[in-house]
Amino acid sequence: MKRTTRILNFSASPAAKTDLVPVLYSLLSAVNFLKKEDALTLTVLLCWCRFNQPGEFLKIQHALQTKDVDSASCLLDNLYQQQKLSLPFSKAHFLDIFRMGKPETNLSRFSELFHGLSNEQYDAHQLSHSLYQLIRQNTQTFETQVLSSNSLEFIEALLTQLNLPEHVKIMDGAASFGLLLQHFISEDDEVILTEQSEDRLLLSKLILSLRGISSVTFNNHNPLCQETAVISENADIYLSFPKQPYALSVNERNADHFYLPEDHHGLVNRNSADALWIQYGLFHLNQNGKLLLVVRDGFLSRLGYDLIVRKQLIQKNLVDCVVHLNAHPSFKGQHLSLLVLDKSRTLDSLPVRVFDLRSLSAYERHELDIDMIINSTQEAYEAHVDARLIPNIRMTLSFKAIQNHHYSLDSADYRQDLSKDNHQWSSSKITYQHYQETYKDFCKQHEKLIKLTSLKKH
């Protein structure tokens, strides 16, 4: 059975009709003597505790209500230690946190947070979804990068087109809070998350647990420094949004990366993060695996080591498409693209599609017929563009065209060549002429058919 859609619909639950994000934000603000990320950690942990250890949740709540600071502190210390999370302000005990500033005020604010989270109308799925939305809406506060809703819908359509099995093994080597993966996983998927920040990795684990996703492997290390060879995870999908921009450290550049070809060692420079992530992701895919990775536009056309890697990808026919992603506040002025690789493609030098979401107006983003743009034939696509049913955002690059442009995958390098035949970008004038000629030919054939029909009657 093939999977037809991956983004989960949280509006199906009656409780989901209530927007929990403002509620959660106000609860985080209640404990405003904590840093926002520490307040988020506490909130996520308590959400998890409410559904997975309700007895402990009630004990802590009771201790706060009765102003039993020692018991509340001890219970919270144990909860953090159990999940291996760091206490706020690097304190050794929660008692030290309660005593900061005005202890009475701190106690009442903690009680307010517990009271808000104990509302029985909020289910675990809704809390999980709302926590992710809270992080998405506060990218500067939590130092995160997220994709726009339009980009996420486009990725969903691409995943559907890739004919994935119903249940998949999905991997992210730079998971952070798991913001990207959470849109595309279901309860029966096997998930592998790797992240340098242990606390963020653990928070992702707790939020996924609220979603009912239990088959998760967590790795706390930096894959860009990983030298010891490991066995491939044989994942169906590698889907990741690494930190951008990212300059490789000396240790990351000089590491003996086990997933690189022998002749690539010594070529890695400070701007090679995207090139390393691509090869790391490919190493962990099975023979039919798909890689979807957010990269900086520089990788698509830069010379040096990036060119070596692009050339290898294109010659092996691994590149399915590139999507120039539209702007989002978390991009901070960067130009980012989604690179889609497919290890199941044949070696027949198939063309590469490039989609430019940046050129869309706000109205076009809202009304976008993604399925037509991605899946239609070139003739059907051009006809729909001419009829102004869809915007013209797709370019199809031939292997020869890419070769002639230093293996560039940036559409900007091809826009000056619209008159050439080595790639196809829909031209309204050419398409309209083709339409007129086809229509004339149709009219002639129709007239012949009428004559033949009338002769048979006589």
| Cis previous bond, 245, omega within 30 | yes
Question: What secondary structure, in 3-state letters, does 5-18 show?
Answer: CCCCCHHHCHHHHC
Query: In which band, very low, low, confident or very high, does the pLDDT at 439 lie, cut at 50, 70 and 90?
Result: low
Whole-number average pLDDT of the chain: 84
Tell me what pLDDT residue 418 has: 54
For the chain, how many residues are written? 458
pLDDT of residue 108 exceeding 80 = yes
**Backbone Cα Rg of the chain:** 27
**Average of pLDDT values for 69-83?**
92
Which range is least confidently modeled, 134-148, 293-307, 427-441? 427-441
Burial of 458 (0-12, 13-18, 19+ CB in 10 A): exposed
Q: Where are the alpha helices (DSSP H) in 316-427?
A: 362-366, 370-375, 378-386, 399-404
Tell me what pLDDT residue 453 has: 67
Tell me what pLDDT residue 176 has: 85
324 forms beta bridges with: 337, 356
Q: Where are the alpha helices (DSSP H) in 31-148?
A: 36-52, 54-65, 69-82, 94-98, 103-117, 124-137, 139-142
Is residue 394 within 8 A of residue 352, CB to CB? The reply is no
And the tokens for 299? Answer: 């990788």
| Topology of the domain covering 145-426 | Rossmann fold (3.40.50)
Is residue 362 within 8 A of residue 323, CB to CB? The reply is no
pLDDT of residue 9 exceeding 80 = no
pLDDT in tens, 161-195: 887 888 899 999 998 888 888 778 888 899 999 99
**Largest Cα–Cα distance of the chain, in whole Å?**
105
pLDDT in tens, 336-384: 999 999 999 877 778 999 999 988 877 777 778 888 999 888 899 999 9
Is residue 162 within 8 A of residue 290, CB to CB? The reply is yes
Comparing CA positions, the residue from 117, 244, 224, 127 lying closest to residue 182 is 127
Tell me what pLDDT residue 457 has: 55
Which range is least confidently modeled, 16-30, 68-82, 177-191? 16-30
- The full set of domain ranges for the chain reads 19-120, 145-426, 433-458
pLDDT in tens, 382-418: 999 998 888 999 999 999 999 999 999 999 999 877 5
Which range is least confidently modeled, 47-56, 251-260, 280-289? 251-260
And the tokens for 300? Answer: 């698509």
Tell me what pLDDT residue 436 has: 56
**Average of pLDDT values for 99-116?**
82
337 contact partners, CB below 8 Å, separation of at least 6: 294, 295, 296, 297, 300, 322, 323, 324, 325
Q: Which phi and psi angles does 276 have, rounded to 5°?
A: -70, -45
pLDDT in tens, 289-338: 999 999 999 999 999 999 999 999 999 999 999 999 987 777 777 899 99
And the tokens for 187? Answer: 């309860």
What is the spatial distance between Cα 23 and Cα 244, in angstroms, rounded to a whole number?
30
Please count the other Cβ atoms lying within 10 Å of the Cβ belonging to residue 301: 17
Is residue 323 within 8 A of residue 154, CB to CB? The reply is yes
25/5: higher pLDDT:
25
Model pTM score: 0.84
pLDDT of residue 64 exceeding 70 = yes
Tell me what pLDDT residue 424 has: 47
CA distances from 42 to 36, 38, 39, 194 (A): 10, 6, 5, 22
Tell me what pLDDT residue 413 has: 92
